[in-house]
Amino acid sequence: MSKKNVREAALDALLKIEKNQAYSNLLVNDAIKKNELNGKDVALFTEIVYGTVQRKKTLDYFLSPFLPKKIKKKDEWIIPLLRMSIYQMVYLDRVPDRAIIFEAVQLAKKRGHRGLANMANGILRNIQRSGLPDFEKIDNDIERLAVKYSHPIWLVEEWVNQYGLETTKSICEANLKTPPMTARVNGSKSTVQEVIDMLEKEGVIAKPGKLSSDAIEIEKGNFIKTKVFEEGYATIQDESSMLVARALAPQENDRVLDCCAAPGGKTTHISELLNGTGEVIAFDLHRHKVKLIQEQAERLKLKNIHAQALDAREAEEHFPKESFDRILVDAPCSGFGVIRRKPDIKWSKSEKDVQEITKIQLDILDSIAPLLKKGGTLIYSTCTIEKRENEQVIRAFLNKHHDFEANETLKNNLPNKIRSYLKEGQASIQIFPHYYESDGFFIASLRKKPS
């Protein structure tokens, strides 16, 4: 791949995401390296790609009155070009419209022909003159919400049915915001304040997190390039995700099973909470992802983690019954709680995907259930806010496994700040992205009955 300017590289990335359902986060990192973009261009490239994918439905609403009725299939690449140009015109202050339109016309000419360049020029100048269509002209509440906050209609309808219109609006609004960078302090080596002080000496400004007692939030500077990171004093993790190991509450010398463990954020947290005692058996379906767990353990200097490749649905065949004190199932899910970080998720997933993933989630729980000791704790977590993958999965599991019960002590293991979202006796919690600017997360605690 030859080096391209920032907007041409952004258009390439958008076309790949559109046509190949490529993961935006992986593709963005790859494109930055291949095009050797510098610091300033990296910021603009990332903003254009993520912003255009994130606001796709809104941008199409802005664009639709100005598009010709028919565009030849071979010329449909012009639409992502127009979307990213409108995104810059509407949402970025620093770039003048004339520069955006000029770049769009040059790209249309280079990739297509003069006719397409004239069309791009005409559409963008028309939008500039006429102004943007008003969202209030959309009569239907769900459709208006979906267009204004750029989410698929079926997903907004689903959330409105589950949580109501106001909560859905808050979720959609939060999904459009840039998430803060947070890191988990390695409690086996240091404290939150000590790590904040060490980072300051390296020119990185951080403060305690909003939710988790283990968290810091990076306000300024490149955390990844610090000795604090390199030497394993802290690791990047979202604050909601940090609550999972705390909910599991591992005790010294426990033997813990962590299913679906890659890239290892929760695995290493469990290991830290064990204070060098006990053992964490961590596995993941994909062998290359197991390497990520091992690398994290090595960087954080944690010796009690044993990682391997294994399908969690086959766990029962590989370990003796009742051989673990605690088990974490951080289940594969639709990922609707992390749309801020991976905006392509909302366009690539469908209702059918949600139905299919619930079967896998239940199969995993069925497979690991015999491995837990009597009186042991099972934590089930997902990074989604979809009830069919959360509350309904837990209900189905408990209906089938009468030797398990809801563990009402979950509240005791969560931070005070979030306890108000738990009703008395509740054994699960749904964290929404608008609560603390953290990922949307579900955590349920179950216990195997003592006898």
Same domain, 216 and 251: no
Could you give the percent of the chain with pLDDT greater than 70? Answer: 98
User: Residue 24's pLDDT is what?
Assistant: 66
Question: What average pLDDT does the segment 244-270 reach?
Answer: 96
- Reference 317, options 375, 370, 387; nearest CA is 370
Cα separation, 156 vs 162, whole angstroms: 10
Catalytic positions are: 383
User: Is residue 31 a known part of a binding site?
Assistant: no
Cis bond before residue 68 (omega within 30° of 0): no
Tokens of 117: 């360049």
Q: Are the C-beta atoms of 388 and 340 separated by less than 8 Å?
A: no
User: Is residue 263 a known part of a binding site?
Assistant: yes
Instruction: Tell me how many domains the chain contains.
Output: 4
Same domain, 51 and 112: yes
Same domain, 401 and 267: yes
Residue 1 falls inside a structural domain: no
- Please identify which residue in the block is written with the tokens 């404290």: 191
Same domain, 150 and 283: no
With 60 as the cut, is the pLDDT of residue 280 above it? yes
Read off φ and ψ for residue 401, nearest 5 degrees: -110, 90
pTM of this structure: 0.93
Same domain, 259 and 112: no
CA–chain centroid gap for 181, Å, is 12
User: Residue 3's pLDDT is what?
Assistant: 64
The model's pLDDT over 287-303, given as tens digits with 9 standing for 90+, comes to 999 999 999 999 999 99
Same domain, 91 and 10: yes
Same domain, 231 and 280: no
With bands split at pLDDT 50, 70 and 90, how would you rate the model's confidence at 1?
A: very low
The model's pLDDT over 357-393, given as tens digits with 9 standing for 90+, comes to 999 999 999 999 999 999 999 999 999 999 999 999 9
Same domain, 213 and 263: no
User: Is residue 320 a known part of a binding site?
Assistant: no
User: Is residue 311 a known part of a binding site?
Assistant: yes
Tokens of 164: 């109501």
For 100, the domain range is 6-130
The amino acid occupying position 39 is: G
User: Residue 23's pLDDT is what?
Assistant: 63
Could you give the percent of the chain with pLDDT greater than 90? Answer: 84
List C-alpha distances in Å: 12 to 9, 40, 49, 114, 198: 5, 19, 10, 20, 40
Compute the mean pLDDT over every residue in the chain, rounded to the nearest whole number. 93
Tokens of 349: 């997933």
Residue 289 falls inside a structural domain: yes
User: Residue 195's pLDDT is what?
Assistant: 97
Tokens of 433: 């992205």
Tokens of 69: 């009725």
Read off φ and ψ for residue 157, nearest 5 degrees: -60, -40
DSSP 8-state code for residue 316 = G
Same domain, 312 and 441: yes
Q: Is 15 exposed, middle or buried (0-12, 13-18, 19+ CB in 10 A)?
A: middle
The model's pLDDT over 48-105, given as tens digits with 9 standing for 90+, comes to 999 999 999 999 999 999 998 888 888 889 999 999 999 999 999 888 999 999 999 9
The model's pLDDT over 25-53, given as tens digits with 9 standing for 90+, comes to 677 777 888 888 877 888 899 999 999 99
Same domain, 43 and 114: yes
User: Is residue 264 a known part of a binding site?
Assistant: yes
The model's pLDDT over 420-447, given as tens digits with 9 standing for 90+, comes to 898 778 999 999 999 999 999 999 999 9
Q: Is 261 exposed, middle or buried (0-12, 13-18, 19+ CB in 10 A)?
A: buried
The model's pLDDT over 386-421, given as tens digits with 9 standing for 90+, comes to 999 999 999 999 999 999 999 999 999 999 999 889
**Rg over CA atoms, the chain:** 24
Same domain, 269 and 310: yes
Same domain, 232 and 243: no
Residue 373 falls inside a structural domain: yes
User: Is residue 51 a known part of a binding site?
Assistant: no
